Structure 1
């Protein structure tokens, strides 16, 4: 019963999965279905001797130090009193080895890192009503509180968001400004937006000065609808994808989902109610300091700027098509326009 559903490259994928299964649980009966992996990995939903797992194929790096830290955080959370589900890495070699291994990708012959995780029940939420964002804020706050108490022995690899100047060697600030001055052919589609960003970028980078004085802790850094699961009653029941967990500003755990809300195709009234619910849900769990609240407008834009630099870098690497970076550049311009018109009202909502 070795099946892969809904995939034309069945033989190559079966070969990869069988290699992993042979190390984790030889002689097992298994089924696999292609999952909905994010931009950074491919996932398979596995049924192994009746138990369900998720197999992740890391697509963008083979840095075992990064993966070891992610798995270290997940293992520590699973041993804590955190009340929501998080994936638990499964040890290979019959439960006696590490939680990841290197395999050859049959599609291209390159070696990649593969991990198997326990399965979390639930489904990605769809934001139909603004009140649903209270749940997301509460989940982010619960996670923030749990991570603040977590004891981890490994050092994080990723720098804080506000150290963006050093985060992307293929697209540092001066390179991004140069691209806006003279967009390459790959980014011509958003040349107008890049020209509009040009006078704004220096101030965005300047606003990061002094951020290191704000409260820091371990953060997930990417809490959004694609990285949480909800139960049949609409309650957030699981948080996924800790790949970018690191030591960063505590308030980023709220600023990130706030930033992601701003380009949704919703009415102004819906958006303001959703933002209020998100903030209220988070602050029921975590009481932020005044200086943290004051920084949120800049951090909302920082999140979007970080995503732009991330996907331009991936474009240069050949990992993603230019359209991905183009879309993120357009979204950054939209968020800046929104902030120019709404920052005062946002600060009132934050009680700053």
Structure 2
């Protein structure tokens, strides 16, 4: 049976309210799930309909982390799920989609290309890292760490990924495909050393769309769907990768603006958190790993029919750009990190 968008939303809201009367407002939303902004009884809510999965365990793990962070005294907001009429934190739509309702958090999408905002955002990443270090969730994590790259998406095994790279090599993207093959081999070889890095819960997806700001200050960090144990420094690696978007790479002026934002972000991070020498040295690799993971992630979404096929190709080309940047200027990133971030003694 096919349901209209209105019928689906109505069936979800009925799990939270008796006889709800609502309207949908148009605002920005993410790329992995369906997000709708719901105005009801003078209040604004954010409705997330999960497209990646319908796994209660994954939602429960995410919501347990959010509950813990809600009492951590962070200087910015994190989402808190509304309770359903049955007392849970999620419901199902009439067509079987897992869904969660959050109260709307005020703020504008953070402009991370603005150095002052990047500094505040970097500090928020450090503050969140420190807070998550204290969070203990007894349940099994819902997602694999970044370095488990052949389990990033259930449809993309090692063979599927390497076969696809061979196919892309015959479409004029041979150089980009070879960059990814080289990076995959390097990751496999460096894993024994990298696995010594400190591990804790990380957000895993701190990007511009998941941070809100008022002026230069970060007011909220959103979308904890992918929270999972991983290398502690991976959080900063993910965030730094966001500061070097593919469309800015290749232009000296645009790249220098990215470096200015990255320096301010590292300065901010250093105000709130410390890393070991090994973590500081690994940052260029972690930036690459973030971009590398996007290739199998979007390939899997394409194979699952929830993403256009050219999105995986876009991230394939984007990885080649960031690999070139890190090859040429990775030492600059390490030097900036060591300038601003305090060194923690190795365990």
TM-score by length of 1: 0.88
C-alpha offsets along residues 174-227 of structure 1, whole Å, 9 cap, x if unaligned?
A: 433333233388xx3634421444344311332233322111111101111100
8 A contact 1:34–1:43 mirrored in 2? no
The equivalent of 1:108 in structure 2 is none
Could you tell me how far apart the structure 2 residues matched to 1:37 and 1:340 are? 34
C-alpha offsets along residues 108-146 of structure 1, whole Å, 9 cap, x if unaligned?
A: xxx211110111110102245333210110111111111
The equivalent of 2:226 in structure 1 is 244
- CA drift of 1:14 comes to 2.3
The equivalent of 1:234 in structure 2 is 216
Does 306-315 or 28-37 show the bigger shift? 28-37
- CA drift of 1:284 comes to 0.9
8 A contact 2:62–2:225 mirrored in 1? yes
8 A contact 2:12–2:94 mirrored in 1? no
- CA drift of 1:163 comes to 2.0
Q: 1:256 aligns with which of 225, 233, 238?
A: 238
Q: 1:24 to 1:166 in 2, by over 3 A?
A: closer
The equivalent of 2:137 in structure 1 is 152
Regions of 4+ moved over 4 Å: none
8 A contact 1:72–1:154 mirrored in 2? no
8 A contact 1:43–1:55 mirrored in 2? yes
Q: 1:286 aligns with which of 260, 273, 276?
A: 273
Q: 1:28 to 1:103 in 2, by over 3 A?
A: closer
8 A contact 1:136–1:236 mirrored in 2? yes
8 A contact 1:181–1:198 mirrored in 2? no
TM-score by length of 2: 0.89
The equivalent of 1:118 in structure 2 is 103
**1:340 and 2:330 aligned:** no
Q: 1:12 to 1:318 in 2, by over 3 A?
A: closer
Give ranges in structure 1 of 5+ residues lacking alignment.
1-10, 106-110
8 A contact 1:177–1:201 mirrored in 2? no
**1:274 and 2:261 aligned:** yes
8 A contact 1:130–1:271 mirrored in 2? no
Q: 1:276 to 1:190 in 2, by over 3 A?
A: same
Q: 2:93 aligns with which of 99, 103, 107?
A: 103
Could you tell me how far apart the structure 1 residues matched to 2:79 and 2:66 are? 7
8 A contact 2:208–2:242 mirrored in 1? no
Q: What is the CA RMSD across the aligned residues, in angstroms? A: 2.1
